[in-house]
Structure 1
Amino acid sequence: MDEADIASEYQSREMEALLKHRKKKVLTAKDSADHCQECGLEIPSARQIAVPGCSLCTQCAAWLEQNNP
């Protein structure tokens, strides 16, 4: 196996790991609330994916963090 083969194999493994991680994130986004428990506004899907299991929108989460140190 030469250096090009090793590099190609490494790249394939990295890509596979990234895809598995991405699929896992998408699946766990389903555990997030669709609407904020505080204000009732819709929680964007990007936040649901970035913060699996979230129940607050960004604004309410920030307010809660600032007022409950």
Structure 2
Amino acid sequence: MELDVENAQVTILMNDSNKVYVVAMTKEKLEAVTTAIKLATEYAIPTTKTQMELVEFLVIN
């Protein structure tokens, strides 16, 4: 299955000192960042993991 970039949800996580943070911002800034990410995306590599599994992996490693 191919990724539908236009309708995909963008999730932003920051990692510092092996800790993962969820990012908060205004709706306008989120829309700007989301648009920029979608326009810049050239490839999307499936991980076969859910968002929760990825967060758990990032926190553990």
Please give the TM-score of this superposition, normalised by the length of structure 1. Answer: 0.22
Higher RCO (CA-CA < 8 Å; seq separation 6+): 2
Instruction: State which structure, 1 or 2, has the greater radius of gyration over its C-alpha atoms.
Output: 1
TM-score (norm 2): 0.23
